Structure 1
Amino acid sequence: PILQVMYLAKGMRDHTLLQAIARVNRPYNELKEFGFILDYFGVFENLNEALNYDKNELGEVAFPYGRFRDMFKTNITELVDLFVGIPRDGSHQSAMQALIMLNDDETKRERFEKLFRNVRVLFETLQPDEFLRDFLNDYKWLCKLYMLYFKKFYPTEHFEISEEDGAKTRQLIREYVDVKEIEEEFPTYELDETYLTKIKDMNPDAKALDIEAMLDAEIRIRLDEDEDVRPLSERLRYIIEQKRAGTLAGIALL
């Protein structure tokens, strides 16, 4: 299963072909998530006929390579478009703008998570295609933003490199993202009696973001441990939604 490419240079049919496709596509630890087939014989020109299976029953067992390019371009374009009006200059201010926008818009936040997961998988799938070169700066910016987002909204999780990151994404993060700088500019504080003192010098928007994200994460953790926390969670969610809707002028009620 460690071999990723199958060179198809002779005719193959039915279950023999299906087994060969399954074999080359079998994952192998973190080194291989999918397989490639180079079809020199033309079997894939009439794949359904060669497999002799009902397409509705079997589904699609292989995709044209070009479709992955189209999917990547569509997903990363939509992902970048979520942040129209926010400079992608690597500054602390622009990162805060993006995080505040995601905090205030639940729909965009969910879309951001889904699209980034898609883009991350497709980025690895297309390696080492030169096609990716035109999107590399956007992808680097998105990787750093996702790390900041994960650190802020999932403060108990390890944010530096996810198990879901492929080898090329991990290499890119190590080369272009300064983890120490992230730790210094976006510290995570423990929610204790000194918490409000630690964040008192933040600007109002950054302070509101930190309080909302920290309380939301804390409630999520405690809900898993104690169902009695649910009424407090629902009340907190109501207050946050009212603030986002502009009904509350600040976050003091929290």
Structure 2
Amino acid sequence: MQHYSSRVNFTKEVEEKINQTIWMLWNADRTFMGLKNLLINVCLEKGTLKGMVELMQLNGLRMRVLAEKLGRYQLVRGGRMHFEQSQMMIRLPEHLNENKPITNLFEMVIEVQKRIECQFRELHRLSVEKNDMVTVELCESKLIPGQVQKIHFCVGHINAIQKIGQNELKSAWMYDRMTIQPIVRAICVFILEENLERLPFFCGDKFVIMLVKTTVGQMMQQNMWMTHPIEETQVTQTVKNVVIFNKFFGLF
């Protein structure tokens, strides 16, 4: 998302579709905050799943970053931003399924991610139709692959939890402790310590960098377990988790 021809083949239809996409991304952010609150209730009752709570926070952050970057893209192309107040993308239950709370959670996460993917594909289809090759390239190289990757990320976690054992809540606690928390910690440490300006996606976008670092900094301050040293046995896995940083955010 570095340099773009202004309004060359940038039609009103594509401009409006981008606005719809930005609006959906803000809706997704709000939905992930709702899912985070559902998980917090589980944590209060069972004292578990701290990593998954913050994973929902990171999901919401990813949506906000995408919305900001698409908004910047819209303005650079000469478009105008306008959309309605954000709302939930799906209807959230009052409580997660008692027998399969994490499967229930990730099913809702996947539903949100699939709706975002469909929106990206609609933007791609319209861009092809209007011969807007800049937006086509954006969808094909960045938006759609990153979103598909996110869906695979979520499906993989459901499968892994189900393989651990029959008691899902107990299995989820173990999975959260051994897998999710190291992933979240590795991603957050990477964000805070890495020079994000050198990553192609950010292109020196200081506002988005500040948004990401500030949000993650607050997460680290509120969760002491994130600051604990990583055990030696987790070092190899943590190196892999830094690679997951790219997979998780899709565009970085």
Q: Fold match, TM over 0.5?
A: no
Shorter-chain TM range is 0.3 to 0.5
TM-score (norm 2): 0.33
Q: Which has the higher contact order (CA 8 A, sep 6+)?
A: 2
TM-score (norm 1): 0.33
Max Rg structure: 1
